[in-house]
Structure 1
Amino acid sequence: MSEEILVNVTPRETRVAVVENGMLQELHIERGWSRGVVGNIYKGKVQRVMPGMQAAFVDIGLERAAFLHAADIVKPAPVGNGDGEDTSLPATPTRPIAELLRDGQEIVVQVVKDPIGSKGARLTTQLSIPSRYLVLLPRTRVVGVSARIEDEVERARLKGILASLADSGGGHGYIVRTNAEGQPEEALAEDVAYLSRAWALINEKTAKARVGECVYEDLSLPLRAVRDLIRRDVEKVRVDSRETFERLRQFAAQYMPAVQAAASDDRAALDGKIEHYAGARPIFDMYGIEDEIQRALDKQVPLKSGGYLVIDQTEAMTTIDINTGSFLGQRNLEETVYRTNLEATHAVARQLRLRNLGGIIIIDFIDMTDPEHRRQVLRQLEKSLARDHARTTVYEFSPLGLVEMTRKRTTESLERQLSEPCHECGGRGMLKTPETVTYEIFREIVRQVRQFDAVRLLVMASPKVVARITDEESVAVAELEEFLGKSIRFQPDDQYAQEQFDVVLL
């Protein structure tokens, strides 16, 4: 599989696109005025302990107080060997929050989820610092290996290397990331040394820091892309900014000198994969990324067969509906439905990554009567999700034929980053019809006349509504004037939205 990473840099915005076989799979955006805070470590102060919620609100210097649950305060077991990315989760029962924190207490915390919507950031005291191949877990002795490394021999080799390196790195715990598969001991040792230096610096800054001060900030988006997204099958990283290109090469040479290139026998350094794009045409236009971004904001996603997906993102969950559309198939209805659902699994997996949809996701596949077809569709969905960087969990078909799944959410979705609620409809996605607004105006006229004394009335509304009233409802207006004994004049105004109007008493 061919994979490229494209980095587009402008003065106020940086965008990173992950392209696989010519198709956009992921888009990451960072704007100068609204950088995410996930991964940052702060010296905070407990504002309020809430025993009823087993949580506390902590001031870390952001606009809204952050949320810290008791389960994220309890330390993991001091010794252990984990098998997945979640080995740092608490190994002991959660104690009452009142026994763990008190109002006004200073505490060092890390952000695990950005503020989303009306909710503040989510915090943990279980600090972790990532590098290219490892994640440092300070003050623990956990040694874990990513569950995505499935080869048992390789898992044992990596655990053995980390067990010997852990003592030299200060006796901390580590999780081996997926990128570490096949890497030599020297590369892991360099990461251990880097993480040890980073942790020592954090301790120094923490001792001097004031409440609300950030003592560790994660890398900027281009550097995170090099650290986290580059795998062996990544052929090139193309950057359209000379300054950012130089920074990426320096970062790669300093922190990741032992990375192997795509060919197994080629020991080229990572910076050999990083190229400066100097073309006259914008890099995202060159690869068709801008068009893909626009399509990623649409509710409907077409399938090659003629079917389509309909994606609805709500506050509670995201729903995905699959339809056959114009796809008629060649054999019978069951086969047509099965083929459409199989094709949809690839599209669903891609859209989840591209749109960065997280939380609860409900997929409404087209009904299938054959149990084997259901198993094959579910298996194909899990296979299509395998390349997703975010952790996903897929459940069996429900009695209603729905597939429930979850995808870890740490930042806002692409739609929420690029869009805002419609000012016309208030975010409902629907407008009242001119007919509905017309009858609302009639009711408001009656209400105003009964409350206040007036000789005549002026109604100001959108041109579309006024045109309908004066044209199709002229008889109704005449009857209303006779009933009320008042003169009514309608005035169109382009400044009024379709649902807006004013009744003025003269």
Structure 2
Amino acid sequence: MKQIIVSVKEFESNAALIEDNKLIEFLVERDDLTRIVGNIYKGKVENVLPGMESAFINIGLEKNAFLYVNDLREFEERYLDGVENSDRPIEDILKKDDEVVVQILKEPRGNKGARVTTHYTIPGKYLVLMPNNNYIGISKKIKDETERKRLYDLIERIKPENVGLIIRTEAEGKEDIYFEREIEYLVKKWQEIEYNISRAKIGEILYSDNDLVNRVVRDIFSHEINELIIDDEKKYWEIIDYINAFSEREMSTKIKLFTEEQEILDYYKIKSEVEKALKKEVWLDCGGYLVIEKTEALISIDVNTGKNVGLHNLEETVLQTNLEAAREIPRQLRLRNLSGIIIIDFIDMRIEEDKEKVLLELEKNLSKDRVKNNIIHFTDLGLIEMTRKREGKPLSNYFLEECYLCKGNGYVRSVEAIVHEIIEQVKQDAKEDDINKIKILASERVYEILNSTYKEFINTYLKSKNKSFELEKLNKQNFNDYELIYEK
């Protein structure tokens, strides 16, 4: 049973993909965190970096976008009097203040601006239009060679000149009428973009990908989905109209309007699953657990036996835990939307046959992912190295922010270090002639250590300096906070 649950609110929309009562993907769109991947902007070259074969483009965002020379070739050929398959260096193609139209490939992250390209793509449900190309591609997920040839021949016959098309997985089994309607729609979209290029200002959006609900219907809703349940009546009818225009009308029977009084994400117990996906530890049904940690360079996943003590022998216990981890890890990657380099440290296996079983199980479950991924190999240390394409933001970006105490370190200063800091500060301040009394306000943990171990020392020390002293508890229980108050 596969379901898509869609929640539409004033300032936020959510979509959840559920398979066999398990949350597999959770998508978020907020007004304050607009998705920009796929958007096409009119930009201006801020500076060209020959040594990096790239340029920085002002598209009106906080940070300039990054354009690599190979992502510029199609624009060069069509708009800058370039030649096909040009190998000219970027400094011969672009100059400062040149205008260029770019599409967002990757969103900004950290200190990096957005990655942009001039290889424009306009996606539909069955086809992706490549306006500056003349190429026909077919999704690798369509395996049947006869069907691949049928689709290729069909699209070659109806494709307009001087545009390219990618045939998406959902096109399998479809007839001419679906493609003809969509090609007409996509070409019209591109014509509108071209018409607006000369009229647009720098930083203006020429094309914006559809909102979350429409993207879900276009990219995820398919024959494999049993039902799509949405809590907004207006969007419900928009989806029905879209299905009737671009898909089989019987698909509209899978669309259902949620009418319960309870909030839809609570009704389907989605919020609690999202909360679990924000934690480092993931418990497996067998009693083992995963530890998932994100660093600047990569994602590390550690597999542990935990409470799984097994029934027969160590090898069987390890294999059982690793196999369950191989099923859960792909789910967690999709749910958390983790990407880049991923290192998986399965529990050590001595039997080669067991290693092969775990690897096959991992590959089988990764194949269900909509996002491209690739297992590189087992390293010499027995770790699995893999990659997952970066698409959108990690789930944690929408719900977590950097701790104001630890500033991203993951740790705060220990209570013992705080206490010693207070003592040194008191000794320093006691030298001041205009201070007669020092009052320490401390959170509970700091107060307890000061009161039980150091109070007498501080009191004696200050008396020797003709100062008085007072210790008081702050009404803060969770942090190692303190405050020093001075009286003259």
Deviation at 1:93, TM superposition (A): 8.3
Where in structure 2 are the equivalents of 1:222-301 lying within 5 Å?
222-254=213-245, 256-257=246-247, 259=248, 268-301=249-282
Do the aligned partners of residues 440 and 393 (structure 1) sit closer, same or farther apart at CA in structure 2, a change above 3 Å counting?
same
Distance in 2 between residues matched to 1:370 and 1:452, nearest whole Å:
75
Q: Deviations over 1:326-369 (max 9, x none)?
A: 11222221221111111101110000000111111111111111
Choose which of 117, 123, 129 in structure 2 pairs with 1:136.
129
SS at match of 2:32: coil
Where in structure 2 are the equivalents of 1:314-333 lying within 5 Å?
314-333=295-314
Amino acid at match of 2:172: E
TM-score, normalised with respect to structure 2: 0.93
Match of 1:81 in 2: none
Comparing 17-26 with 459-468, greater Cα deviation is found at: 459-468
Deviation at 1:410, TM superposition (A): 2.5
Which sections of structure 1, spanning at least 5 residues, go unmatched? 79-90, 260-267
Where in structure 2 are the equivalents of 1:44-59 lying within 5 Å?
44-59=43-58
Amino acid at match of 2:320: R
Distance in 1 between residues matched to 2:76 and 2:165, nearest whole Å:
13
Match of 1:150 in 2: 143
Deviation at 1:95, TM superposition (A): 4.6
Distance in 2 between residues matched to 1:77 and 1:272, nearest whole Å:
47
Q: Is the 8 A contact 1:39 1:218 kept in 2?
A: yes
Deviation at 1:137, TM superposition (A): 0.9
Match of 1:407 in 2: 388
Q: Deviations over 1:50-107 (max 9, x none)?
A: 22322221111222221212232123999xxxxxxxxxxxx96865321232110100
Match of 1:165 in 2: 158
Distance in 2 between residues matched to 1:325 and 1:496, nearest whole Å:
31
Amino acid at match of 2:134: R
Distance in 2 between residues matched to 1:38 and 1:317, nearest whole Å:
22
Amino acid at match of 1:24: L
Distance in 1 between residues matched to 2:200 and 2:15, nearest whole Å:
33
Q: Is the 8 A contact 2:444 2:476 kept in 1?
A: no
- The answer as to 2:109 corresponding to 1:110 is no
Q: Is the 8 A contact 1:355 1:415 kept in 2?
A: yes
Q: Is the 8 A contact 2:57 2:67 kept in 1?
A: yes
Distance in 2 between residues matched to 1:296 and 1:206, nearest whole Å:
42
Do the aligned partners of residues 92 and 171 (structure 1) sit closer, same or farther apart at CA in structure 2, a change above 3 Å counting?
closer
Distance in 1 between residues matched to 2:432 and 2:320, nearest whole Å:
64
- The answer as to 2:205 corresponding to 1:214 is yes
- The answer as to 2:182 corresponding to 1:191 is yes
Do the aligned partners of residues 364 and 92 (structure 1) sit closer, same or farther apart at CA in structure 2, a change above 3 Å counting?
farther
Distance in 1 between residues matched to 2:441 and 2:70, nearest whole Å:
57
SS at match of 2:299: strand
Deviation at 1:161, TM superposition (A): 1.4
SS at match of 2:198: helix
Deviation at 1:23, TM superposition (A): 1.1
Deviation at 1:211, TM superposition (A): 1.1
Q: Deviations over 1:241-295 (max 9, x none)?
A: 11111111122222x13x3xxxxxxxx4332221111122222222211111111
Q: Is the 8 A contact 2:15 2:216 kept in 1?
A: yes
Where in structure 2 are the equivalents of 1:73-84 lying within 5 Å?
73-75=72-74
Comparing 190-199 with 304-313, greater Cα deviation is found at: 190-199
Distance in 1 between residues matched to 2:349 and 2:460, nearest whole Å:
57
Comparing 430-439 with 480-489, greater Cα deviation is found at: 480-489
Match of 1:86 in 2: none
| Matched residue count | 481
Where in structure 2 are the equivalents of 1:355-504 lying within 5 Å?
355-449=336-430, 454-478=435-459, 480-481=461-462, 486-494=467-475, 498-504=479-485
Q: Is the 8 A contact 1:146 1:175 kept in 2?
A: yes
Amino acid at match of 1:140: N
Match of 2:81 in 1: none
Do the aligned partners of residues 278 and 314 (structure 1) sit closer, same or farther apart at CA in structure 2, a change above 3 Å counting?
same
Q: Deviations over 1:396-454 (max 9, x none)?
A: 11111111111111221101111112234333333333222111211222344457764
- State the superposition RMSD in angstroms: 2.3
Amino acid at match of 1:119: K
Comparing 283-292 with 128-137, greater Cα deviation is found at: 283-292
Distance in 2 between residues matched to 1:298 and 1:93, nearest whole Å:
49
Q: Is the 8 A contact 1:463 1:493 kept in 2?
A: yes
Match of 1:205 in 2: 196
Q: Is the 8 A contact 2:299 2:343 kept in 1?
A: yes
Do the aligned partners of residues 77 and 109 (structure 1) sit closer, same or farther apart at CA in structure 2, a change above 3 Å counting?
closer
Distance in 2 between residues matched to 1:455 and 1:124, nearest whole Å:
67
Do the aligned partners of residues 335 and 94 (structure 1) sit closer, same or farther apart at CA in structure 2, a change above 3 Å counting?
farther
Q: Is the 8 A contact 1:378 1:396 kept in 2?
A: no
Which sections of structure 2, spanning at least 5 residues, go unmatched? 78-83
SS at match of 2:74: coil
Match of 1:303 in 2: 284
SS at match of 2:408: coil
Distance in 1 between residues matched to 2:76 and 2:316, nearest whole Å:
51
Q: Percent identity?
A: 37
Amino acid at match of 1:245: Y
